[in-house]
Amino acid sequence: MTALERYQSWIEAPWLDEESRAELKALTDEKEIEDRFYREMEFGTAGMRGVLAAGLNRMNVYTVRRATKGLADYIISCGEEAVKRGVAIAYDSRRNSALFAKETACVLCAAGVKVYLYESLRPVPQLSFALRYLHCISGVVITASHNPAQYNGYKVYWEDGGQIPPDHVKEIVACIDKVRDFGAIPSMDYDEAVKDGILTIIGKEVDDEYIKRVEGLSVRPDLLKKLGDEFKVVYTPLHGTGNIPVRRVLKELGLKNVYVVPEQELPDPNFSTVRSPNPEDHAAFTLAIELAEKVGADIVLGTDPDCDRIGVLVNNDGEYTVLTGNQTACLILNYLLTQKKEMGTLPENGAVVKTIVSTDLAKTICDAFGVTIIDVLTGFKFIAEQMEMMEETGKYTFLFGFEESYGCLTGTFVRDKDAVIGSMLAVEVAAWYRSRGMTLYDGIQELYKTYGYSYELTTSFEMPGKDGMEKMAKTMSAMRASTPWVLGDKKVSAVRDYQTSVRTTAEGETSEIKIVKSNVLFFEIEDGSWAVVRPSGTEPKIKVYFSAQAESMDAAKAKVAKLQDAFMQIMKPYME
Protein backbone atom coordinates (compact mmCIF):
# COMPACT_ATOMS: atom_id res chain seq x y z
CA MET A 1 0.00 0.00 0.00
CA THR A 2 1.10 3.55 -0.63
CA ALA A 3 1.22 6.16 2.12
CA LEU A 4 -1.94 7.74 0.74
CA GLU A 5 -3.75 4.39 0.74
CA ARG A 6 -2.73 3.74 4.35
CA TYR A 7 -3.90 7.23 5.26
CA GLN A 8 -7.29 6.57 3.67
CA SER A 9 -7.59 3.18 5.38
CA TRP A 10 -7.08 4.80 8.77
CA ILE A 11 -9.71 7.45 8.11
CA GLU A 12 -12.20 4.74 7.14
CA ALA A 13 -11.26 2.32 9.94
CA PRO A 14 -14.15 1.50 12.32
CA TRP A 15 -11.73 1.22 15.26
CA LEU A 16 -10.37 4.79 14.95
CA ASP A 17 -11.66 7.27 17.54
CA GLU A 18 -13.43 10.33 16.20
CA GLU A 19 -10.88 12.82 17.49
CA SER A 20 -8.07 11.09 15.60
CA ARG A 21 -10.26 10.75 12.51
CA ALA A 22 -10.96 14.47 12.54
CA GLU A 23 -7.25 15.20 13.00
CA LEU A 24 -6.36 13.10 9.96
CA LYS A 25 -9.15 14.52 7.80
CA ALA A 26 -7.91 18.03 8.54
CA LEU A 27 -4.47 17.31 7.04
CA THR A 28 -3.80 19.15 3.78
CA ASP A 29 -0.01 18.91 3.52
CA GLU A 30 0.86 15.94 1.30
CA LYS A 31 4.34 15.67 2.82
CA GLU A 32 2.86 15.50 6.32
CA ILE A 33 0.46 12.76 5.21
CA GLU A 34 3.32 10.85 3.59
CA ASP A 35 5.52 11.20 6.68
CA ARG A 36 2.76 9.88 8.94
CA PHE A 37 2.04 6.87 6.75
CA TYR A 38 5.05 6.01 4.56
CA ARG A 39 6.16 3.42 7.13
CA GLU A 40 5.08 1.78 10.36
CA MET A 41 6.31 3.25 13.62
CA GLU A 42 9.77 1.73 13.91
CA PHE A 43 10.53 -0.51 16.86
CA GLY A 44 14.28 0.04 17.11
CA THR A 45 17.10 -0.93 19.42
CA ALA A 46 15.20 -0.08 22.60
CA GLY A 47 11.62 0.45 21.47
CA MET A 48 9.84 3.37 19.81
CA ARG A 49 10.19 7.13 19.92
CA GLY A 50 8.37 9.68 17.81
CA VAL A 51 6.04 12.63 17.47
CA LEU A 52 2.66 12.45 19.18
CA ALA A 53 -0.10 12.40 16.54
CA ALA A 54 -2.54 10.17 14.70
CA GLY A 55 -0.95 7.95 12.09
CA LEU A 56 0.97 4.76 11.43
CA ASN A 57 4.36 6.46 11.93
CA ARG A 58 3.41 8.37 15.05
CA MET A 59 3.13 7.78 18.78
CA ASN A 60 -0.52 7.15 19.69
CA VAL A 61 -2.64 4.59 21.53
CA TYR A 62 -2.88 2.42 18.43
CA THR A 63 0.85 2.10 17.78
CA VAL A 64 1.40 1.59 21.53
CA ARG A 65 -1.19 -1.19 21.65
CA ARG A 66 0.31 -2.88 18.61
CA ALA A 67 3.83 -2.80 20.04
CA THR A 68 2.52 -4.13 23.35
CA LYS A 69 0.67 -7.00 21.65
CA GLY A 70 3.92 -7.96 19.94
CA LEU A 71 5.79 -7.79 23.26
CA ALA A 72 3.09 -9.88 24.96
CA ASP A 73 3.21 -12.53 22.22
CA TYR A 74 6.99 -12.74 22.53
CA ILE A 75 6.84 -13.10 26.32
CA ILE A 76 4.25 -15.88 25.91
CA SER A 77 6.62 -17.64 23.51
CA CYS A 78 9.26 -17.57 26.26
CA GLY A 79 7.15 -19.90 28.38
CA GLU A 80 4.72 -19.94 31.28
CA GLU A 81 7.33 -18.82 33.81
CA ALA A 82 8.03 -15.63 31.81
CA VAL A 83 4.30 -14.86 31.70
CA LYS A 84 4.02 -15.30 35.47
CA ARG A 85 7.07 -13.13 36.18
CA GLY A 86 5.41 -10.36 34.24
CA VAL A 87 6.25 -6.82 33.19
CA ALA A 88 6.94 -3.68 35.24
CA ILE A 89 5.71 -0.37 33.80
CA ALA A 90 6.68 3.23 34.56
CA TYR A 91 6.04 6.55 32.87
CA ASP A 92 7.25 10.16 32.93
CA SER A 93 5.58 13.58 32.83
CA ARG A 94 5.04 13.82 29.07
CA ARG A 95 1.77 14.23 27.27
CA ASN A 96 -0.15 10.92 27.16
CA SER A 97 2.49 9.10 29.20
CA ALA A 98 0.01 7.97 31.86
CA LEU A 99 -2.49 6.99 29.16
CA PHE A 100 0.06 4.96 27.20
CA ALA A 101 1.23 3.23 30.39
CA LYS A 102 -2.34 2.23 31.22
CA GLU A 103 -2.97 1.02 27.65
CA THR A 104 0.23 -1.03 27.81
CA ALA A 105 -0.86 -2.60 31.08
CA CYS A 106 -4.33 -3.49 29.81
CA VAL A 107 -3.08 -5.13 26.59
CA LEU A 108 -0.55 -7.20 28.53
CA CYS A 109 -3.18 -8.24 31.06
CA ALA A 110 -5.55 -9.27 28.28
CA ALA A 111 -2.81 -11.59 27.03
CA GLY A 112 -2.51 -13.11 30.50
CA VAL A 113 0.81 -11.44 31.35
CA LYS A 114 1.25 -10.29 34.96
CA VAL A 115 1.78 -6.49 35.23
CA TYR A 116 3.28 -4.21 37.91
CA LEU A 117 2.36 -0.58 37.23
CA TYR A 118 3.77 2.38 39.15
CA GLU A 119 1.07 4.45 40.85
CA SER A 120 2.42 7.71 39.39
CA LEU A 121 5.32 9.04 37.35
CA ARG A 122 8.80 7.64 38.13
CA PRO A 123 12.33 8.00 36.71
CA VAL A 124 13.65 5.50 34.17
CA PRO A 125 16.24 4.10 36.62
CA GLN A 126 13.46 3.22 39.06
CA LEU A 127 11.85 1.12 36.34
CA SER A 128 15.14 -0.69 35.78
CA PHE A 129 15.39 -1.29 39.52
CA ALA A 130 11.77 -2.36 39.93
CA LEU A 131 11.81 -5.07 37.30
CA ARG A 132 14.95 -6.58 38.89
CA TYR A 133 13.55 -6.20 42.41
CA LEU A 134 10.27 -7.85 41.41
CA HIS A 135 12.03 -10.46 39.21
CA CYS A 136 10.04 -9.47 36.13
CA ILE A 137 10.89 -10.81 32.70
CA SER A 138 10.57 -7.38 31.11
CA GLY A 139 9.82 -3.71 31.69
CA VAL A 140 8.33 -0.81 29.77
CA VAL A 141 8.77 2.89 30.44
CA ILE A 142 6.79 5.53 28.58
CA THR A 143 9.20 8.39 27.91
CA ALA A 144 10.97 10.32 25.19
CA SER A 145 13.80 11.21 27.57
CA HIS A 146 15.19 14.67 26.70
CA ASN A 147 13.35 15.15 23.37
CA PRO A 148 11.10 18.20 22.82
CA ALA A 149 7.52 18.27 24.09
CA GLN A 150 5.91 16.96 20.90
CA TYR A 151 7.63 13.58 21.37
CA ASN A 152 6.93 10.51 23.43
CA GLY A 153 8.38 7.03 23.45
CA TYR A 154 8.09 3.39 24.48
CA LYS A 155 11.29 1.87 25.91
CA VAL A 156 11.52 -1.85 26.58
CA TYR A 157 13.80 -3.51 29.14
CA TRP A 158 14.65 -7.15 29.73
CA GLU A 159 15.14 -9.24 32.86
CA ASP A 160 18.67 -8.00 33.63
CA GLY A 161 17.26 -4.45 33.99
CA GLY A 162 18.99 -3.14 30.87
CA GLN A 163 17.38 -2.01 27.64
CA ILE A 164 16.33 -4.95 25.52
CA PRO A 165 19.20 -6.62 23.61
CA PRO A 166 19.27 -6.96 19.79
CA ASP A 167 18.38 -10.66 19.63
CA HIS A 168 15.19 -10.08 21.62
CA VAL A 169 14.41 -6.97 19.56
CA LYS A 170 14.36 -9.06 16.37
CA GLU A 171 11.93 -11.53 17.90
CA ILE A 172 9.65 -8.81 19.24
CA VAL A 173 9.64 -7.00 15.89
CA ALA A 174 8.66 -10.28 14.20
CA CYS A 175 5.74 -10.59 16.62
CA ILE A 176 4.71 -6.97 16.06
CA ASP A 177 4.77 -7.46 12.29
CA LYS A 178 2.13 -10.18 12.64
CA VAL A 179 -0.29 -7.71 14.25
CA ARG A 180 -2.07 -6.25 11.22
CA ASP A 181 -5.51 -5.29 12.56
CA PHE A 182 -5.38 -2.41 15.05
CA GLY A 183 -9.02 -3.00 15.89
CA ALA A 184 -8.52 -6.63 16.92
CA ILE A 185 -5.99 -6.11 19.73
CA PRO A 186 -7.50 -7.42 22.99
CA SER A 187 -7.42 -5.09 25.99
CA MET A 188 -8.59 -5.86 29.51
CA ASP A 189 -10.63 -3.43 31.57
CA TYR A 190 -8.28 -1.63 33.95
CA ASP A 191 -10.41 -1.93 37.10
CA GLU A 192 -11.14 -5.58 36.35
CA ALA A 193 -7.42 -6.29 35.93
CA VAL A 194 -6.67 -4.72 39.34
CA LYS A 195 -9.56 -6.63 40.95
CA ASP A 196 -8.41 -9.94 39.44
CA GLY A 197 -4.87 -9.38 40.70
CA ILE A 198 -3.20 -9.67 37.31
CA LEU A 199 -2.40 -5.93 37.58
CA THR A 200 -0.58 -4.81 40.73
CA ILE A 201 -0.05 -1.13 41.52
CA ILE A 202 3.38 -0.45 43.03
CA GLY A 203 4.73 2.56 44.88
CA LYS A 204 6.17 3.25 48.33
CA GLU A 205 7.65 -0.17 49.12
CA VAL A 206 9.64 -0.29 45.89
CA ASP A 207 10.53 3.41 46.18
CA ASP A 208 11.91 2.98 49.69
CA GLU A 209 14.09 0.03 48.70
CA TYR A 210 15.46 1.91 45.68
CA ILE A 211 16.26 5.03 47.76
CA LYS A 212 17.94 2.91 50.45
CA ARG A 213 20.23 1.33 47.87
CA VAL A 214 21.02 4.68 46.23
CA GLU A 215 22.04 6.15 49.57
CA GLY A 216 24.12 3.04 50.19
CA LEU A 217 26.31 4.07 47.25
CA SER A 218 27.47 7.22 49.04
CA VAL A 219 31.21 6.75 49.51
CA ARG A 220 31.70 9.51 52.10
CA PRO A 221 28.33 10.26 53.70
CA ASP A 222 30.25 11.95 56.51
CA LEU A 223 31.17 14.78 54.11
CA LEU A 224 27.55 15.60 53.36
CA LYS A 225 26.55 15.51 57.02
CA LYS A 226 29.51 17.68 58.02
CA LEU A 227 28.78 20.33 55.38
CA GLY A 228 25.00 19.91 55.46
CA ASP A 229 24.31 23.18 57.22
CA GLU A 230 26.34 25.38 54.86
CA PHE A 231 26.61 23.64 51.48
CA LYS A 232 24.07 25.03 48.98
CA VAL A 233 22.57 23.15 46.04
CA VAL A 234 20.23 24.47 43.36
CA TYR A 235 18.30 21.75 41.57
CA THR A 236 15.92 21.71 38.62
CA PRO A 237 14.02 18.58 37.56
CA LEU A 238 13.06 20.39 34.30
CA HIS A 239 9.39 19.55 34.90
CA GLY A 240 10.18 15.84 35.10
CA THR A 241 10.38 12.81 37.36
CA GLY A 242 13.51 13.64 39.36
CA ASN A 243 11.91 16.13 41.73
CA ILE A 244 10.90 13.73 44.51
CA PRO A 245 13.71 11.10 44.50
CA VAL A 246 16.63 13.52 44.01
CA ARG A 247 15.43 15.85 46.77
CA ARG A 248 14.68 12.93 49.09
CA VAL A 249 18.17 11.44 48.73
CA LEU A 250 19.94 14.75 49.29
CA LYS A 251 17.78 15.55 52.31
CA GLU A 252 18.19 12.14 53.92
CA LEU A 253 21.97 12.36 53.49
CA GLY A 254 22.04 15.58 55.51
CA LEU A 255 21.84 18.49 53.05
CA LYS A 256 19.62 21.22 54.46
CA ASN A 257 20.00 23.84 51.74
CA VAL A 258 18.59 22.37 48.53
CA TYR A 259 16.80 25.03 46.49
CA VAL A 260 14.49 23.80 43.74
CA VAL A 261 13.73 26.08 40.79
CA PRO A 262 10.05 26.81 41.53
CA GLU A 263 9.05 27.40 37.89
CA GLN A 264 10.39 23.97 36.91
CA GLU A 265 9.51 21.96 40.00
CA LEU A 266 6.19 20.44 38.95
CA PRO A 267 5.43 18.20 35.97
CA ASP A 268 4.60 20.11 32.79
CA PRO A 269 4.15 18.09 29.57
CA ASN A 270 4.73 21.25 27.54
CA PHE A 271 8.08 22.01 29.24
CA SER A 272 6.99 25.61 28.96
CA THR A 273 10.03 27.20 30.63
CA VAL A 274 12.67 25.70 28.34
CA ARG A 275 13.48 25.39 24.66
CA SER A 276 14.29 21.74 25.24
CA PRO A 277 14.21 19.76 28.54
CA ASN A 278 17.75 18.58 27.98
CA PRO A 279 20.67 19.09 30.42
CA GLU A 280 22.95 19.19 27.36
CA ASP A 281 21.24 22.45 26.35
CA HIS A 282 22.83 25.24 28.40
CA ALA A 283 19.72 27.40 27.94
CA ALA A 284 17.76 24.93 30.05
CA PHE A 285 19.66 26.25 33.10
CA THR A 286 18.73 29.93 32.70
CA LEU A 287 16.30 29.94 35.64
CA ALA A 288 18.55 27.71 37.72
CA ILE A 289 21.47 30.09 37.29
CA GLU A 290 19.30 33.04 38.35
CA LEU A 291 18.37 31.20 41.55
CA ALA A 292 21.97 30.05 42.12
CA GLU A 293 23.25 33.62 41.89
CA LYS A 294 20.58 34.73 44.35
CA VAL A 295 21.35 32.11 47.02
CA GLY A 296 25.09 31.67 46.33
CA ALA A 297 24.89 28.01 45.39
CA ASP A 298 27.99 25.81 45.46
CA ILE A 299 26.62 23.57 42.73
CA VAL A 300 23.68 23.50 40.29
CA LEU A 301 22.06 20.23 39.19
CA GLY A 302 19.56 19.54 36.43
CA THR A 303 17.95 16.27 35.39
CA ASP A 304 15.97 15.52 32.23
CA PRO A 305 12.27 14.51 32.29
CA ASP A 306 12.92 10.78 32.85
CA CYS A 307 15.82 11.52 35.21
CA ASP A 308 18.49 9.42 33.58
CA ARG A 309 20.73 12.33 32.47
CA ILE A 310 22.34 14.87 34.76
CA GLY A 311 23.75 18.31 34.01
CA VAL A 312 26.08 20.05 36.47
CA LEU A 313 27.11 23.70 36.81
CA VAL A 314 29.90 24.79 39.13
CA ASN A 315 30.54 28.06 40.89
CA ASN A 316 33.69 29.74 39.60
CA ASP A 317 34.05 33.03 41.47
CA GLY A 318 30.35 33.78 41.15
CA GLU A 319 30.12 32.64 37.51
CA TYR A 320 28.31 29.35 36.93
CA THR A 321 30.17 27.17 34.45
CA VAL A 322 28.45 24.26 32.73
CA LEU A 323 30.34 20.99 32.86
CA THR A 324 30.15 18.60 29.93
CA GLY A 325 28.93 15.06 30.44
CA ASN A 326 32.52 13.89 30.05
CA GLN A 327 33.78 16.31 32.71
CA THR A 328 31.09 15.35 35.22
CA ALA A 329 31.76 11.65 34.65
CA CYS A 330 35.53 12.03 35.02
CA LEU A 331 35.16 14.00 38.25
CA ILE A 332 32.93 11.28 39.70
CA LEU A 333 35.20 8.52 38.37
CA ASN A 334 38.35 10.06 39.85
CA TYR A 335 36.57 10.59 43.18
CA LEU A 336 35.31 6.99 43.36
CA LEU A 337 38.70 5.50 42.53
CA THR A 338 40.55 7.85 44.90
CA GLN A 339 38.26 7.14 47.83
CA LYS A 340 38.13 3.38 47.25
CA LYS A 341 41.92 3.22 47.03
CA GLU A 342 42.33 5.21 50.26
CA MET A 343 39.81 2.99 52.06
CA GLY A 344 41.35 -0.19 50.66
CA THR A 345 38.14 -1.20 48.87
CA LEU A 346 39.33 -0.83 45.28
CA PRO A 347 39.12 -4.36 43.80
CA GLU A 348 42.09 -5.73 41.87
CA ASN A 349 39.80 -6.65 38.98
CA GLY A 350 37.90 -3.35 38.91
CA ALA A 351 36.53 -2.20 35.56
CA VAL A 352 34.98 0.94 34.09
CA VAL A 353 32.83 0.91 30.95
CA LYS A 354 32.39 3.85 28.59
CA THR A 355 31.06 4.40 25.08
CA ILE A 356 33.43 4.81 22.13
CA VAL A 357 32.47 8.49 21.71
CA SER A 358 33.24 9.36 25.33
CA THR A 359 36.45 11.03 26.50
CA ASP A 360 39.81 9.27 26.52
CA LEU A 361 40.61 11.15 29.75
CA ALA A 362 38.77 8.35 31.56
CA LYS A 363 41.29 5.81 30.28
CA THR A 364 44.19 7.89 31.57
CA ILE A 365 42.53 8.09 34.99
CA CYS A 366 41.83 4.35 35.05
CA ASP A 367 45.40 3.54 33.98
CA ALA A 368 46.71 5.55 36.93
CA PHE A 369 44.69 3.39 39.32
CA GLY A 370 45.34 0.08 37.56
CA VAL A 371 41.68 -0.23 36.59
CA THR A 372 40.55 -1.83 33.32
CA ILE A 373 38.49 0.31 30.96
CA ILE A 374 36.18 -1.20 28.35
CA ASP A 375 34.77 0.62 25.31
CA VAL A 376 31.31 -0.17 23.94
CA LEU A 377 29.00 1.25 21.30
CA THR A 378 26.86 4.29 22.03
CA GLY A 379 23.86 3.36 24.15
CA PHE A 380 23.76 2.51 27.83
CA LYS A 381 22.35 -0.94 27.15
CA PHE A 382 25.81 -1.96 25.94
CA ILE A 383 27.22 -0.86 29.30
CA ALA A 384 24.49 -2.93 30.98
CA GLU A 385 25.48 -5.95 28.89
CA GLN A 386 29.06 -5.63 30.15
CA MET A 387 27.77 -5.42 33.72
CA GLU A 388 25.80 -8.62 33.23
CA MET A 389 28.83 -10.44 31.74
CA MET A 390 30.99 -9.29 34.66
CA GLU A 391 28.51 -10.80 37.11
CA GLU A 392 28.30 -14.04 35.14
CA THR A 393 32.04 -14.57 34.63
CA GLY A 394 33.52 -12.87 37.69
CA LYS A 395 36.39 -11.65 35.52
CA TYR A 396 35.78 -8.01 36.44
CA THR A 397 34.04 -6.04 39.18
CA PHE A 398 31.96 -3.19 37.79
CA LEU A 399 32.88 0.19 39.26
CA PHE A 400 31.45 2.86 36.97
CA GLY A 401 29.91 3.36 33.55
CA PHE A 402 29.23 6.50 31.56
CA GLU A 403 28.49 8.04 28.19
CA GLU A 404 29.30 11.55 27.03
CA SER A 405 25.62 12.44 26.71
CA TYR A 406 25.31 13.18 30.44
CA GLY A 407 24.59 9.66 31.67
CA CYS A 408 26.48 7.67 34.32
CA LEU A 409 26.05 4.84 36.81
CA THR A 410 27.69 3.13 39.73
CA GLY A 411 26.25 0.22 41.67
CA THR A 412 24.61 -2.78 40.02
CA PHE A 413 20.98 -2.71 41.17
CA VAL A 414 20.11 -0.40 38.23
CA ARG A 415 21.13 -1.21 34.66
CA ASP A 416 20.63 2.12 32.96
CA LYS A 417 22.05 5.58 33.51
CA ASP A 418 20.73 7.03 36.73
CA ALA A 419 20.59 10.76 37.45
CA VAL A 420 19.39 10.19 41.03
CA ILE A 421 22.66 8.40 41.75
CA GLY A 422 24.53 10.90 39.58
CA SER A 423 23.08 13.87 41.47
CA MET A 424 24.04 12.41 44.82
CA LEU A 425 27.60 11.67 43.70
CA ALA A 426 28.05 15.05 41.99
CA VAL A 427 27.14 16.79 45.25
CA GLU A 428 29.40 14.46 47.21
CA VAL A 429 32.32 15.15 44.88
CA ALA A 430 31.71 18.91 45.23
CA ALA A 431 31.64 18.51 49.03
CA TRP A 432 34.93 16.58 48.88
CA TYR A 433 36.62 19.40 47.00
CA ARG A 434 35.04 21.91 49.40
CA SER A 435 36.60 20.00 52.31
CA ARG A 436 39.95 20.50 50.57
CA GLY A 437 39.37 24.23 50.15
CA MET A 438 38.52 23.86 46.46
CA THR A 439 35.50 24.32 44.23
CA LEU A 440 34.33 21.76 41.70
CA TYR A 441 35.74 24.07 39.03
CA ASP A 442 39.13 23.81 40.74
CA GLY A 443 38.62 20.07 40.71
CA ILE A 444 38.27 19.76 36.95
CA GLN A 445 41.35 21.94 36.48
CA GLU A 446 43.26 19.68 38.86
CA LEU A 447 42.19 16.67 36.81
CA TYR A 448 43.52 18.23 33.61
CA LYS A 449 46.84 19.19 35.22
CA THR A 450 47.22 15.67 36.59
CA TYR A 451 46.08 13.59 33.63
CA GLY A 452 46.36 15.90 30.61
CA TYR A 453 44.02 18.19 28.74
CA SER A 454 41.28 16.61 26.67
CA TYR A 455 38.52 18.41 24.79
CA GLU A 456 35.44 16.92 23.17
CA LEU A 457 32.76 18.46 21.00
CA THR A 458 29.53 17.06 19.58
CA THR A 459 27.60 18.60 16.71
CA SER A 460 24.54 17.38 14.85
CA PHE A 461 22.39 17.87 11.77
CA GLU A 462 18.63 17.52 12.11
CA MET A 463 16.99 15.52 9.32
CA PRO A 464 13.29 15.07 10.11
CA GLY A 465 10.76 13.12 8.09
CA LYS A 466 11.07 10.64 5.25
CA ASP A 467 13.44 12.90 3.30
CA GLY A 468 15.66 13.16 6.36
CA MET A 469 15.84 9.38 6.80
CA GLU A 470 16.86 9.01 3.17
CA LYS A 471 19.46 11.77 3.44
CA MET A 472 21.00 10.18 6.55
CA ALA A 473 21.31 6.85 4.75
CA LYS A 474 22.86 8.50 1.68
CA THR A 475 25.30 10.47 3.84
CA MET A 476 26.58 7.38 5.64
CA SER A 477 26.86 5.47 2.33
CA ALA A 478 28.76 8.34 0.72
CA MET A 479 31.19 8.57 3.66
CA ARG A 480 31.91 4.88 3.26
CA ALA A 481 32.28 5.08 -0.52
CA SER A 482 34.69 8.03 -0.38
CA THR A 483 36.59 7.54 2.86
CA PRO A 484 38.64 10.67 3.72
CA TRP A 485 42.23 9.81 4.64
CA VAL A 486 43.25 13.40 5.33
CA LEU A 487 41.41 15.81 7.62
CA GLY A 488 42.84 19.33 7.38
CA ASP A 489 46.58 19.03 7.97
CA LYS A 490 46.30 15.65 9.71
CA LYS A 491 46.35 12.17 8.25
CA VAL A 492 43.74 9.59 9.14
CA SER A 493 45.65 6.58 10.42
CA ALA A 494 42.68 4.18 10.44
CA VAL A 495 38.93 3.99 9.95
CA ARG A 496 36.69 1.73 11.99
CA ASP A 497 33.46 0.77 10.25
CA TYR A 498 31.27 -0.76 12.91
CA GLN A 499 28.64 -1.72 10.34
CA THR A 500 31.03 -4.07 8.56
CA SER A 501 33.06 -4.81 11.72
CA VAL A 502 36.28 -3.93 9.90
CA ARG A 503 39.11 -1.60 10.90
CA THR A 504 41.15 -0.41 7.91
CA THR A 505 44.49 1.36 8.23
CA ALA A 506 45.82 4.00 5.84
CA GLU A 507 48.14 1.30 4.47
CA GLY A 508 45.18 -0.91 3.62
CA GLU A 509 45.61 -3.45 6.39
CA THR A 510 42.37 -4.75 7.86
CA SER A 511 41.36 -6.34 11.14
CA GLU A 512 38.10 -7.49 12.69
CA ILE A 513 36.21 -5.30 15.18
CA LYS A 514 34.84 -7.69 17.77
CA ILE A 515 31.79 -5.74 18.78
CA VAL A 516 28.12 -5.74 17.77
CA LYS A 517 27.43 -4.17 14.36
CA SER A 518 26.21 -0.56 14.20
CA ASN A 519 25.99 2.22 11.63
CA VAL A 520 29.06 4.09 12.93
CA LEU A 521 32.26 5.38 11.32
CA PHE A 522 35.22 6.13 13.59
CA PHE A 523 38.18 8.08 12.18
CA GLU A 524 41.47 7.65 14.05
CA ILE A 525 43.78 10.65 13.52
CA GLU A 526 47.56 10.33 13.53
CA ASP A 527 48.00 12.62 16.57
CA GLY A 528 45.58 10.65 18.75
CA SER A 529 42.55 12.81 17.96
CA TRP A 530 39.42 11.24 16.52
CA ALA A 531 36.11 11.95 14.81
CA VAL A 532 32.99 9.80 14.77
CA VAL A 533 29.85 10.07 12.65
CA ARG A 534 26.63 8.15 13.22
CA PRO A 535 22.85 8.56 12.89
CA SER A 536 21.22 9.19 16.27
CA GLY A 537 19.28 6.28 17.69
CA THR A 538 16.74 8.52 19.41
CA GLU A 539 16.33 11.63 17.25
CA PRO A 540 16.11 12.41 13.50
CA LYS A 541 19.67 13.66 13.19
CA ILE A 542 23.22 12.72 12.30
CA LYS A 543 25.68 13.26 15.14
CA VAL A 544 29.39 13.99 14.74
CA TYR A 545 31.84 13.73 17.64
CA PHE A 546 35.36 15.17 17.92
CA SER A 547 38.10 14.69 20.49
CA ALA A 548 41.68 15.95 20.88
CA GLN A 549 44.37 15.98 23.54
CA ALA A 550 47.06 18.66 23.99
CA GLU A 551 49.36 20.41 26.46
CA SER A 552 46.68 22.98 27.33
CA MET A 553 42.91 23.34 27.01
CA ASP A 554 43.27 26.14 24.46
CA ALA A 555 45.51 23.94 22.33
CA ALA A 556 43.09 21.01 22.57
CA LYS A 557 40.17 23.25 21.58
CA ALA A 558 42.17 24.59 18.62
CA LYS A 559 42.83 21.03 17.46
CA VAL A 560 39.14 20.16 17.64
CA ALA A 561 38.18 23.36 15.79
CA LYS A 562 40.52 22.48 12.91
CA LEU A 563 39.29 18.90 12.87
CA GLN A 564 35.66 20.00 12.90
CA ASP A 565 36.18 22.48 10.06
CA ALA A 566 37.92 19.87 7.90
CA PHE A 567 35.28 17.23 8.62
CA MET A 568 32.40 19.59 7.91
CA GLN A 569 33.92 20.53 4.55
CA ILE A 570 33.90 16.87 3.62
CA MET A 571 30.35 16.26 4.88
CA LYS A 572 28.82 19.44 3.44
CA PRO A 573 28.14 18.10 -0.10
CA TYR A 574 26.31 15.10 1.34
CA MET A 575 24.06 17.26 3.53
CA GLU A 576 22.75 19.50 0.76
All domains of the chain in start order, with CATH: 39-202 (3.40.120.10), 210-317 (3.40.120.10), 326-451 (3.40.120.10), 454-575 (3.30.310.50)
8 Å CB contact between 355 and 403: yes
Which tens digit of pLDDT belongs to each residue from 58-68? 999 999 999 99
- Taking the C-alpha atoms of residue 323 and residue 327, their distance in angstroms, rounded to an integer, is 6
Tens of pLDDT along the chain (576 residues)?
Answer: 899 999 999 999 999 999 999 999 999 999 999 999 999 998 987 799 999 999 999 999 999 999 999 999 999 999 999 999 999 999 999 999 999 999 999 999 999 999 999 999 999 999 999 999 999 999 999 999 988 999 999 999 999 999 998 889 999 999 999 999 999 999 999 999 999 999 999 999 999 999 999 999 999 999 999 999 999 999 999 999 999 999 999 999 999 999 999 999 999 999 999 999 999 899 999 999 999 999 999 999 999 999 999 999 999 888 999 999 999 999 999 999 999 999 999 999 999 999 999 999 999 999 999 999 999 999 899 999 999 999 999 999 999 999 999 999 999 999 999 999 999 999 999 999 999 999 999 999 999 999 999 999 998 888 777 777 788 888 899 889 888 999 988 999 999 999 999 999 999 999 999 888 899 999 999 999 999 999 876 667 889 999 999 999 999 999 999 999 998 888 888 766
* Among 128, 145, 518, 529, the one annotated catalytic: 145
Q: Structure pTM?
A: 0.95
Print burial letters for 404-437: b (CB count within 10 Å at least 16), e (below 16): bbbbbbbbbbbbbbbbbbbbbbbbbbbbbbbeee
Q: How far is the first Cα of the chain from the last one, in angstroms, to the nearest whole number? A: 30
3-state secondary structure of 323: coil
Strand order, beta sheet including 257-260: 257-260, 232-236, 299-303, 310-316, 319-322
Q: Kindly report, residue by residue over 395-450, the tens digit of the pLDDT.
A: 999 999 999 999 999 999 999 999 999 999 999 999 999 999 999 999 999 999 99
Q: Are 333 and 312 in contact (CB under 8 A)?
A: no
For residue 538, the model assigns a pLDDT of 66
Q: Confirm whether 128 is a catalytic residue.
A: no
Please give the order of strands across the beta sheet that includes 407-409: 372-376, 350-355, 397-403, 407-409
Q: What is the DSSP string of 509-538?
A: -EEE--S---S-EEEEETTS-EEEEEE-SS
pLDDT at 146: 87
Q: Are the C-beta atoms of 574 and 475 separated by less than 8 Å?
A: yes
332 CB contacts (<8 Å, ≥6 apart)? 400, 402, 408, 410, 422, 425, 426, 429
Pair 390, 398: CB distance under 8 Å? yes
| Structural contact between residues 234 and 301, judged by C-beta atoms closer than 8 angstroms | yes
DSSP symbol at 264? G
pLDDT in tens, 133-191: 999 999 999 999 988 999 999 999 999 999 998 889 999 999 999 999 999 999 999 99
Q: Give the whole-angstrom CA distance, residue 36 versus residue 6.
A: 9
Amino acid at 297: A
Nearest residue to 157 via CA among 189, 134, 174, 175? 134
What's residue 318's pLDDT? 84
In this predicted structure, what is the pLDDT of residue 540?
A: 75
Quick one: three-class SS letters along 351-412? EEEEECCCCCHHHHHHHHHCCEEEEECCCHHHHHHHHHHHHHHCCCEEEEEEECCCEEECCC
* 228: phi then psi, degrees, rounded to nearest 5: -55, -30
